[in-house]
Structure 1
């Protein structure tokens, strides 16, 4: 193995010379001679064959070589750096196996952090980083939440079209990495980038948003989707009808829809019927629990169309979701409900919350007055001879 220098204390020209010689030794088609056109042409040629370093068995050496290229890249004036940066990012995404993908991801992140925060190239580097993160199933390396993402581009925000493209990819990557809840938030963010004027153009994004929310086994609060302008443009279509069922209807409504549109659910949308049934049973139970302090096993069996022997296991599954707080009494064949999450949160729920807060306020005032009376009585006793 050839010893590759760290490239910390040598000039960019000397660094490029070392890189050319090293890549040449790995069989890359590149001259060892310095380009007469200068460092930028040298860098262009080095990037063109830099993937030859993936043949090297030592990942530490590979990372040092790629980091060296980054150290030269950031010295190129920003107005001339676009093509080299894009070419280098493309090479990084071609890492042939997982371990090298992780190396490429770290190098890409170094490049992203090294590009001037006012440069529009930060967007393009980040887009390629997401592609790398998908390949190695490690999106959390580059994405924490939407607030963190916006902060990355605060000095040079992408255009609305670029942000939409980025959010579509991010949604895809998060789903691939089994982060359904984060993916749903990203899709809502994407739909929020459309205005009333162009919401009709968001048909595909709106459908993807609905589909992702329905398919995610951990997404139960679907009501906010109906308020999004692009989703409103789907009113009257089957996918909007199906969303409405998951938002506010019971299990039987879904079963009727499924019987009438089985091909649409299974083939057009690619949804899993058994998973849909499981989610609708949970949502139906939540709706039944909203107005009840207790529920019999017979009611649960009838409303949710469950075999008698599956009622208890279903209740256990409900309690695991923490959507409902309840206690099961097997002897009495009942469930005692203390509270439940609302499937929808509209005017009635806001009124209920308002009444609850006023009740708390009234109780606190009564308690305060009682404490004042107790304190006054104690002071009076202290002053008695």
Structure 2
């Protein structure tokens, strides 16, 4: 348990009276007299006007005041403090401006860490903290990855519905912060919370997942999405057809889809030129799987490029590190050494098995040769 700094070395009741007097001086509508109904009522009144301190010019002073309220809240039995904690968190989300938002973020994080690991209120506080982090673009301060998120709530896991709500928020915040890779992992985790029985309820989440993956210029391996139950539920719909094109088809298939469903593609918020760029990269990957050597002419024809665009395109491919290759400008050829597979099905598993068996056999052959050499040396000596 973290030791929370107190506002002043007084009893809770006396601290409440000090807070009342402080906020009264700031012009808040609150009396200086302690409540006859007890400390919870005092805190209710104090939290109701605590945003008055946001007007203070000194951020250290603001943080000290808010931390003082946290120190009181954590001393109240949690079953009696639930509504107070929620009200306080709501006030933190109303902190406008970057500097004030950072103060609210630190205070909210202190509140989260100060609660007992087994308290169900930790979920609600964390949800509000993520909202604050969104306002100041500091999600990395409160979220590392999905595994750490689960570990934080290991002692008191949120309900499935609560976790879905949190994952949706995190996905939105991560996308807004240009952390597309993390956002994609969060969305996959979200879709994984649905079962075959309730996959139909995930329709909106599944569509959002597909659109985010297609729009992200750094996401190329889309095959795993097809295995998710909520995505499978969309089979037969245009969004699933479009995903399937990006998973396993070449550029002409996308162009046909776009020709027939131009308005639909734009309605998804997808950029056609960006889609073309991604499909060209994916098509090149697929070509590289079966061709260790390709002429510039082949690349130009397959990817529908202008002659003077081929070299720059190949350079862009090499920058992604999805394909390892060498470009020979003089011979106007590309020599492929390896490529990442767009899909990993039975054929790829068989190929991997054959490669490992060959590697094992080569090791055995090398070992036998070394034994033979050792025996020869032994006999010779």
Do Structure 1 and Structure 2 share a fold, with TM-score over 0.5?
A: yes
1:130 aligns to what? 130
Residues 245-287 of structure 1 show CA distances to partners (whole Å, capped at 9, x for unaligned) of: 0000001110110011010001x20111111111101000000
- Which blocks of at least 5 consecutive residues in structure 2 are unaligned? none
Quick check: 1:355 aligned with 2:354? yes
Moved over 4 A (4+): none
Which structure 2 residues correspond to residues 294-305 of structure 1 after superposition, within 5 A?
A: 294-305=293-304
Which structure 2 residues correspond to residues 225-240 of structure 1 after superposition, within 5 A?
A: 225-240=225-240
Shift of 1:345: 0.3
Shift of 1:171: 0.7
Which structure 2 residues correspond to residues 198-237 of structure 1 after superposition, within 5 A?
A: 198-237=198-237
User: What's the TM-score, normalizing by structure 1?
Assistant: 0.96
2:93 aligns to what? 93
Which structure 2 residues correspond to residues 231-250 of structure 1 after superposition, within 5 A?
A: 231-250=231-250
Asked whether the equivalents of residues 73 and 81 of structure 2 are also in contact (C-alpha less than 8 Å), the reply is yes
1:78 aligns to what? 78
Quick check: 1:345 aligned with 2:319? no
Shift of 1:377: 2.2
Shift of 1:8: 5.3
Shift of 1:18: 2.3
Asked whether the equivalents of residues 7 and 67 of structure 2 are also in contact (C-alpha less than 8 Å), the reply is no
2:273 aligns to what? 274
Cα 1:127–1:152 shift into 2, 3 Å? same
- Which blocks of at least 5 consecutive residues in structure 1 are unaligned? none
1:171 aligns to what? 171
- The total of aligned residue pairs comes to 377
Residues 192-239 of structure 1 show CA distances to partners (whole Å, capped at 9, x for unaligned) of: 111111111111111111111101111111001111111111111100
1:378 aligns to what? 377
SS in 1 for 2:334: strand
1:182 aligns to what? 182
SS in 1 for 2:294: strand
338-347 or 23-32: bigger deviation? 23-32
SS in 2 for 1:221: coil
Residues 8-60 of structure 1 show CA distances to partners (whole Å, capped at 9, x for unaligned) of: 53322232222222222211111112112221111111100111111011111
Residues 90-145 of structure 1 show CA distances to partners (whole Å, capped at 9, x for unaligned) of: 00000110111111111101100111111111111111111111111111111111
User: What's the TM-score, normalizing by structure 2?
Assistant: 0.97
2:33 aligns to what? 33
